[in-house]
Amino acid sequence: MLPKERILDTVSVLFHKQGYNATGVNQIIEEAKVAKASFYQHFKSKEDLCVAFLNERHTFWFNVLENFTLSEKDTKAKVLASFDFLIEMNQKEDFRGCSFLNILSEIPSDNTKILSVIQSHKTDLRQYFKAILPDNLIADHVYLLFESCIIESQLFKSNDLIEQSKKIIQTLIS
């Protein structure tokens, strides 16, 4: 792997295990096995690295979601499959939760550079449901259920509320 890829791979593990604030540039450099000059050649700051990580995570996450739901043609089945995707991600990533919300909780409120990437990710997720569901109110309701499922499943290390949300969706979508 190239140094930039090693840095991004390393940071995805460290931000998950330790959080954004507790992960230092020196630790990233050491664990990615890159020279300090190489790190700064690719990323001007830890903030720039975080933006790159979140952009990479966004692309990965949406690709997996799209592939997971691709075979579903029916609206209700596609929405329910989106929630099944959360269950699978929780199992694969040990209830990691949302990288975007995890980092949001650690950055200062005036960090607009990282905040704008997080907002963009959430806007795209909301638009994902609006593209599936013809009723914007129901699409927003499903989006809010989805978001709360991410947080609750991380908090309780359980998929129970995702399963409950799927039952709610059965009543929302005809």
Give the mean pLDDT of the chain: 97
- CATH superfamily name and code, 1-43: Homeodomain-like (1.10.10.60)
- DSSP state, residue 24: -
Q: Is the pLDDT of residue 160 over 90?
A: yes
- pLDDT cut 70: percent of the chain above it: 100
With 90 as the cut, is the pLDDT of residue 174 above it?
Answer: no
The yes-or-no verdict on residue 92 having pLDDT over 90 is yes
**Residue extents of the structural domains in the chain:** 1-43, 44-172
* CB-based contact 3:42 (threshold 8 Å): yes
* Average pLDDT of the residues in 10-36: 96
| pLDDT tens for each residue of 105-156 | 999 999 999 999 999 999 999 999 999 999 999 999 999 999 999 999 999 9
Round to whole Å and give the CA distance between 94 and 158.
10
* The CATH classification of domain 44-172, taken from the options 1.10.357.10, 2.40.30.10, 1.10.10.10, 3.40.50.1980: 1.10.357.10
Write out pLDDT tens, residues 3-22.
Answer: 999 999 999 999 999 999 99
Contact 6, 32 (CB under 8 A): yes
Q: Which of 152, 174, 156 is nearest to 165 (CA)?
A: 152
pTM attached to this predicted model: 0.94
Rounded Cα gap, residues 34 and 150, in angstroms = 34
